Amino acid sequence: MDPRTSALLALWKEGRTRFTNLLSKLTEADLPKKLAPGPNSIGFLVRHIGDVELLFAKNVFGLEGVQVHASTVAKGYDTGEWTDMAALTAYVQESADTLQRAIEAQSDADWDTVIETKEFGKKTKAEALGRITTHTAYHAGQIGMLVKYGS
């Protein structure tokens, strides 16, 4: 693996620990917790993280063969259906593995390639990696607050 890719992969892995450290402590009873007036439950946020990681692997980093049905993005709101801890854990493990493969497939030169999405406009792939890393960390912070204060 190219040195820049290796360094960026390490950065992404470390950034994702904000989420994985919380995930390992969640229980199924935590998944429906919300913090009023906020609309999103822990289960929704966990699923959303996985959805967006898969979207990035496919649409931003160009990993072929990625199948993604981003239900949280498509529906746009929490339907209350994300309550199976084992299924959610498996899903976000799959999304992490897929995104890791997508990152590893990049050459050092690829990180300067500009991509464009309707969600965030034009970014280099390196900037987009910052976007997905902070997206996951942002929602991990929300999950932490919901665990502590939600009902």
Give me the chain's average pLDDT, please. Answer: 97
Instruction: Record the pTM.
Output: 0.97
Among candidate residues 24, 9, 98, the one with its CA nearest the CA of residue 57: 98
Q: What is the pLDDT of residue 68?
A: 95
In DSSP notation, 11-29 reads HHHHHHHHHHHHHTT--GG
How far apart, in whole angstroms, are the C-alpha atoms of residue 9 and residue 3? 10
Domain spans, the chain? 3-149
Mean pLDDT on 27-45: 96
Bridge partners of residue 116, in order along the sequence: 122
The CATH number assigned to the domain with range 3-149 reads 1.20.120.450
Q: What is the pLDDT of residue 5?
A: 98
More confident: 36 or 27: 27
Give the Cα-Cα-Cα angle 55, 58, 62 (nearest 5 degrees). Answer: 145
Mean pLDDT on 82-101: 98
pLDDT, tens digit (0-9, with 9 covering 90-100), for 125-145: 999 999 999 999 999 999 999
Among candidate residues 79, 92, 72, the one with its CA nearest the CA of residue 23: 92
pLDDT, tens digit (0-9, with 9 covering 90-100), for 77-91: 999 999 999 999 999
